[in-house]
Amino acid sequence: MNKNRQKIVVVGLGYIGLPTASMLATKGHQVLGVDVNEAAVNTINSGKIHIVEPDLDILVRSAVNSGNLRASLVSEQADTFILAVPTPFKTGAGGAQKIPDISYIETATRDIAPYLVEGNLVILESTSPVGTTERIGQIIAELRPDLTSSRVSTQNSTSVHIAHCPERVLPGHILRELVDNDRIIGGLDKISAERARDLYKTFCNGGIYLTDSRTAEMAKLVENSSRDVNIAFANELSMICDKLGINVWELIGLANKHPRVNILQPGPGVGGHCIAVDPWFIVAAAPDDARLIRMAREVNDAKPHWVLEKVRAKAARFKNPVIGCLGLAFKANIDDLRESPAMAISRDLIKSGIGRVMNCEPNVHADFDEFPLYELAEVLKEADILLVLVDHEEFHGIDRELLKEKVLIDTRGLWR
């Protein structure tokens, strides 16, 4: 096998899998992307994309046209298999405990198991609770006892190599960060980590740091938990400042003048597939010790309810209020609705019946059918209350004259 040019199967063609598959294809690898979504597979094979990410359409079109990228519903034999499937959490008994759900990873591993041969490399990119990479080895051992690779050991030389390389990219900047960001690779053994490093070197300009799989898994969880704790501090400040009549945006700006202070910005909560999820993986692993991490999650999870109460109080001034919600994505200038606090707030407002809700989300298009979406101009014209939930670029240029007669609830500091 020529490690500089491989046949690679990428399982999962979402926000991580598709950019990764496309990047590998443009570097000369023969890449097969596998996904359960037939519409997504057909879209990619036509050289188009089913998600919003700057410049990804150009990369996918180039990769497909070169013949190096194609998509399928089923896997094939390859040199390397990359798993980039979701790792959500599920709610435990009583509704309080959040339990990691690695069923997608387990299913993906079972799906590729029949195609594995000696010398293959299996890489888990999905953010995962500690021990998941070892679980992949156990599944392969159960299904393919002919492959000695499956023994979970950091010492034994194995015939199929297994490693974890967590994604560390920011939606909206994925293509740049895939290339420029440092990567952590944790192998079940040293040779697995080294084999994965050789592959990532073909497109990654950032530093590549090798460790064991458990440390790599924990590193990604710690990165996002650290951010979650810091956001919780900002969100808690915003609620305190509202009670004390202080402009939180001005306060944070002034506090950040200190050379060793860097307070983040508050918002309506925390969303996305990482920061809103990953801390629960640590809490689930060490529930008696992860007290600060749990509290930060609870603060951030409670923020949407606080926003809803602010809207209720303002809506009580009107007989039949029209509430304009600006933004549904979990962050600015993307279409990703996963774990979005803006979506949760909009759903609850509609369900509450306190007024007519008009949602504006410029990055979500025709395939969204949960509730009606409205153009920005229409929302600005009809709304009595304007609720800023996401600071999309489209909202920055709103004429302030149009806001004079509106009740404004700005959770993003857009009109600070």
Q: How far apart are CA 148 and CA 321, in angstroms?
A: 66
Q: How far apart are CA 127 and CA 82, in angstroms?
A: 13
Choice among 98, 165, 204, 220 that is catalytic: 220
Q: How far apart are CA 349 and CA 308, in angstroms?
A: 7
Q: How far apart are CA 234 and CA 239, in angstroms?
A: 9
Number of Cβ atoms within 10 Å of the Cβ of 153:
12
Q: How far apart are CA 335 and CA 84, in angstroms?
A: 19
Helix (H) or strand (E) holding 388, with range, is strand 385-388
220 noted as active-site residue: yes
Q: How far apart are CA 81 and CA 75, in angstroms?
A: 9
Q: Name the nearest CA neighbour of 126 among 118, 113, 117, 135.
A: 135
Number of Cβ atoms within 10 Å of the Cβ of 265:
16
- Tokens in use for 227? 């951010």
What is the residue type of 317? R
Choice among 98, 165, 204, 274 that is catalytic: 274
Could you report how far apart the first and last alpha carbons of the chain are, in Å? 58
- Collect all residues with Cβ–Cβ distance below 8 Å to 366 and sequence separation of at least 6: none
Q: Give strand pairing partners of 91.
A: 98
Q: How far apart are CA 189 and CA 314, in angstroms?
A: 59
Q: Residues 62, 74: contact at Cβ < 8 Å?
A: no
Q: How far apart are CA 15 and CA 19, in angstroms?
A: 7
Number of Cβ atoms within 10 Å of the Cβ of 363:
18
98 noted as active-site residue: no
User: DSSP assignment, residue 328?
Assistant: -
Helices (H), 201-316: 213-244, 248-255, 278-285, 291-315
- Tokens in use for 392? 């999309």
Give catalytic residue positions: 220, 274
